[in-house]
Amino acid sequence: MPHTESNLHVVLGSGPAGTAVATELARRGHPVRLVDRSGTGPEIAGVDRVKGDVASAEGAAAAIRGAGVVYHCVNVAYQLQVEVMPRIQAAVLGAVEAEGARLVVLDTLYPYGETHGEVMTEDTPWHATALKGRMRAELDEKYLAAHREARASVVLGRSADFVGPGVLNSTLGAAVFPGALTGGEVLTLGDIDLPHSYTDIRAVAAGLATLGESPHGDGRVWHLPTASALTTREVLGMIEDRVGRPLKIVTLDEPRPFGPFDQVFMDAYAEMFYQHTEPQIVSSGAFEAAFRTEPIPMGDTLDATLAWYRGLLAERP
């Protein structure tokens, strides 16, 4: 497969993951272009923000022009994923093939489907039955096929639920930390006494950046560095210790609107609710051994996340 010699790293999507990846790449000394549909946002040292829409072949080609490595961190509203994500993949993958760039994809655990509590490794079978899980599995098959057929160099980095500075739309995000800090309600889902893996967004960024710097890891799925699973109740207890008060925990045992999760979101999320009624345990040992790294301990993650949310709350009128 042809490869460009460019040292430009292009990050597609400026959500928490894309922003964290761009920041990490710039910190490592790479020239970075961060592309989203607005081209605006807070300035990031060493990062060039560019407006672009990668849902079309023309937009994707323009967004990645001149890139040596492309990081696909684009996501869309939950209820639109099954329709829109395949279209974005086709545009991005086609553009990468034409440009000769390597492609690093931020991926989810959805292709595995229900695991009945078994530890998820890169060898776990893909048994998704939900629409979004099957869609993600089909996308991943196409990514890996492009690599096998020497049309593009592709690598996938899978993450558990995000947590960390800048993360809002996660089960350990805006439904938890503001209430913990202000004495308000803290939303949890399903059985909070089951072990549940969470991946620090900074480890997501560092892991994807490492994959972008390491062509020898191409052609497969990697689990990004993820701390050992705790029960969600244990995580909440660690938050209680840090804020110095008991949390007012509200637990939803079935999908329904609450706090930042409206009816539209919950209707789309219902098929994935199994993630909160069975253990979700992710092993990232293969990545840690191959790239000589370690996950961020949950205590450090919570310290950084609480500090970020304190700043966010202080900015509000």
Instruction: Tell me the average pLDDT across 86-114.
Output: 97
Least Cα distance to 258 among 269, 247, 245 occurs for 269
Q: pLDDT at position 17, please?
A: 97
What's the pTM value of the predicted model, to 2 decimals? Answer: 0.96
Q: What percent of the chain has pLDDT over 70?
A: 98
Classify 261 as helix, strand or coil: strand
Is 213 a residue whose pLDDT tops 80? Answer: yes
Mean pLDDT value across the chain: 95
CB 108 within 8 A of CB 85: no
Q: pLDDT at position 258, please?
A: 77
Is 4 a residue whose pLDDT tops 80? Answer: no
Least Cα distance to 73 among 162, 135, 172, 165 occurs for 162
Is 292 a residue whose pLDDT tops 90? Answer: yes
Q: What is the pLDDT of residues 156-203, one digit of tens each?
A: 999 999 999 999 989 999 999 999 999 999 999 999 999 999 999 999
User: CA neighbours within 13 Å on the CB side: how many for 87?
Assistant: 12
Q: What is the pLDDT of residues 55-93, one digit of tens each?
A: 999 999 999 999 999 999 999 988 999 999 999 999 999
Q: pLDDT at position 265, please?
A: 86
Instruction: Tell me the average pLDDT across 86-106.
Output: 97
